[in-house]
Structure 1
Amino acid sequence: MKTVIDYILSVVYLVYFGLVLVVFHGIQWVVYTLFGSDAHQKTVEWLNFFLVHGWWLTGSTFKATKTVELPTDRSIIFIANHQSMFDIPGIIWYWKKHTPKFVAKKELAKGIPSISYNLRIANAALIDRKDGKSAVVEIAKLGKHICENTFSAAIFPEGTRSRTGKVKEFHVGGVATLLKRCPNALIVPIAIEGTQKFNPKGIFPLSSFSKMRFTSLEPIEPQGKKVDEIVNEARAQIIKIVEG
């Protein structure tokens, strides 16, 4: 019976999901063309509001917790574990005050309404996983961009999603490059729980009545610390929540 419900509610959500992407694709284009990047950012936030709150259509619940209030007058590098494609809307919506920009694979910059358009014009770091040199260049550009505009970057140091929900090893290279360009950025770990269970086998079917949670943890000041120490500390905080 649960499988039947999963299929029915997945269809409902994915129809809704597709409509939201198509509608906001047009809205983004109009707003960016007429009013510029600041106004466009607001449309991105509302796009992700609708994507996140649409999870209710599957009977699922979701919650964001911030263990401490984060500053809005300095750049932040969010380091998160990666369980699902739905990790990104949660971070964008719940931490919208910090204007998170993502490190994403370049394939996402084509063919997806709203999402591809936003990645192309919003200064995301679009990387080719097979070309390490160009990936470093793209991440460095993102680091410079967030530093100059007091924005934030979000990165998944695991590289790929964890299919089991357990936290994989974190790679330090992307974080190191961001910090090189934005050395005063505050490091903030985000623990993501439950999105892997919601999205276990690709986009269909979704698992109804899932419980998802996003938690920003204790900030890490990077001064005087090696990058691998920072990344390991962030991972340890995340593991305590996700696997504790």
Structure 2
Amino acid sequence: MKKALDYILSSIYLLYFGLMLLFFHVYQVVAYNVFGKKAHKRSVDHFNFMLTYGWYLTGAGIHFNNRTQLPDNRPLIFTPNHQSTFDIPGLIWFLRKYHPLFVSKIELARGIPGISYNLRKSGAALIDRKDGKQAIVEIARLGKFIQENNFSAVIFPEGTRTASAAMKPFAAGGLAALLKKAPNALVVPVVIRGTGRFNPKGLFPLTSFSRLSWTVLPGIEPAGKKPEEIAQMAQAAIQAVLDEEFRK
């Protein structure tokens, strides 16, 4: 019975998801070209609000918990664990105040209505994972941009998705490139839970009645610390929260 419900609710959500991609692609194009970058930012916020709360169609529980007071007068570097592509709409919506810009693989910048357009126009760092030099240059560009505008960057230090609570080691290279250009940025770990279980086999079927959550942890001051140390601290902070859930 539960499996059948997964298929039914997933079908409803994916129809909704497809319509949102198409509608908000047009919305973004009009917003950007007619009204400018601020309007485009609002259109992206609306898009990700609809994607995030559209998960209610699958019976999901959606929770955001901020365990700290984040500054608004300096750049931020968010370092979440990475369980699923479903991590991203929640990050964009819940952190919208901080104008989050992503480090993303360049392949995503083409072919996906709404999502690809935003990556190209928002200022995201689009990296070729086969070209280390290009990736570092692009991430450094993003670091300079958030430094000049007091925006935020989102980088997944695992480098790939890990559906379980057993994270891959956090790599420090991308973080180092961001901090080199944004030396006064606060590094902020974010714990993502449940999105890996939500889509264990891709987009279909999704697991209905999943509990999805995003938890912002206290920031890590980078001054006097090596990027490797910061990456380890961020991972340890996230792992401690994931372990809390395991013990419950």
What TM-score does the superposition give when structure 2 sets the normalisation length? 0.97
Find the aligned partners of 1:160 and 1:42 in 2 and give their Cα distance: 28
Q: Is the 8 A contact 1:166 1:243 kept in 2?
A: no
Matching residue of 1:105: 105
Task: Using the TM superposition, give the Cα deviation of residue 242 of structure 1 relative to its aligned residue in structure 2, in angstroms.
Answer: 1.4
Determine whether 1:74 maps to 2:74: yes
Find the aligned partners of 1:10 and 1:221 in 2 and give their Cα distance: 42
Find the aligned partners of 1:55 and 1:186 in 2 and give their Cα distance: 31
Q: Is the 8 A contact 2:165 2:239 kept in 1?
A: no
Find the aligned partners of 2:232 and 2:226 in 1 and give their Cα distance: 10
Q: What pairs up with 1:65-214 in 2 under 5 angstroms?
A: 65-214=65-214
Determine whether 1:25 maps to 2:5: no
Task: Using the TM superposition, give the Cα deviation of residue 68 of structure 1 relative to its aligned residue in structure 2, in angstroms.
Answer: 1.0
Letter in 2 for 1:178: L
Task: Using the TM superposition, give the Cα deviation of residue 229 of structure 1 relative to its aligned residue in structure 2, in angstroms.
Answer: 1.0
Task: Using the TM superposition, give the Cα deviation of residue 35 of structure 1 relative to its aligned residue in structure 2, in angstroms.
Answer: 1.2
Determine whether 1:232 maps to 2:221: no
Q: Is the 8 A contact 1:157 1:170 kept in 2?
A: yes
Find the aligned partners of 1:195 and 1:82 in 2 and give their Cα distance: 9
Find the aligned partners of 2:199 and 2:74 in 1 and give their Cα distance: 34
Find the aligned partners of 2:35 and 2:204 in 1 and give their Cα distance: 36
Task: Using the TM superposition, give the Cα deviation of residue 224 of structure 1 relative to its aligned residue in structure 2, in angstroms.
Answer: 1.0
Q: Output one character per residue of 1:159-191: Cα deviation in whole Å (capped at 9) or x when no partner.
A: 000033321111000000000010000110000
Matching residue of 1:63: 63
Q: Output one character per residue of 1:121-155: Cα deviation in whole Å (capped at 9) or x when no partner.
A: 11111111111111101101111111111110000
Q: Is the 8 A contact 2:82 2:163 kept in 1?
A: no
Task: Using the TM superposition, give the Cα deviation of residue 243 of structure 1 relative to its aligned residue in structure 2, in angstroms.
Answer: 2.6
Find the aligned partners of 2:72 and 2:23 in 1 and give their Cα distance: 30
Q: Is the 8 A contact 1:165 1:196 kept in 2?
A: no
Let me know the Cα RMSD of the aligned residues: 0.8
Task: Using the TM superposition, give the Cα deviation of residue 199 of structure 1 relative to its aligned residue in structure 2, in angstroms.
Answer: 1.1
Percent sequence identity is 56
What SS does the corresponding residue of 1:84 show, helix, strand or coil? coil
| Structure 1 residue ranges (4+ consecutive) displaced by more than 2 angstroms after TM superposition | none
What SS does the corresponding residue of 1:243 show, helix, strand or coil? helix
Q: Is the 8 A contact 1:103 1:124 kept in 2?
A: yes
Find the aligned partners of 1:166 and 1:199 in 2 and give their Cα distance: 17
Q: Output one character per residue of 1:62-98: Cα deviation in whole Å (capped at 9) or x when no partner.
A: 1010001211121100001000001011110001000
Q: Alignment length, in residue pairs?
A: 244
Find the aligned partners of 1:54 and 1:178 in 2 and give their Cα distance: 33
What SS does the corresponding residue of 1:200 show, helix, strand or coil? coil
Letter in 1 for 2:23: V
What TM-score does the superposition give when structure 1 sets the normalisation length? 0.98
Find the aligned partners of 2:139 and 2:226 in 1 and give their Cα distance: 19
What SS does the corresponding residue of 2:168 show, helix, strand or coil? coil
Find the aligned partners of 1:165 and 1:125 in 2 and give their Cα distance: 27
Matching residue of 1:53: 53
Find the aligned partners of 2:149 and 2:21 in 1 and give their Cα distance: 27
Q: Output one character per residue of 1:24-57: Cα deviation in whole Å (capped at 9) or x when no partner.
A: 1001001100111111101101100000000000
What SS does the corresponding residue of 2:165 show, helix, strand or coil? coil
What SS does the corresponding residue of 1:175 show, helix, strand or coil? helix
Letter in 2 for 1:188: V
Q: Which runs of 5+ in 2 are unaligned?
A: none
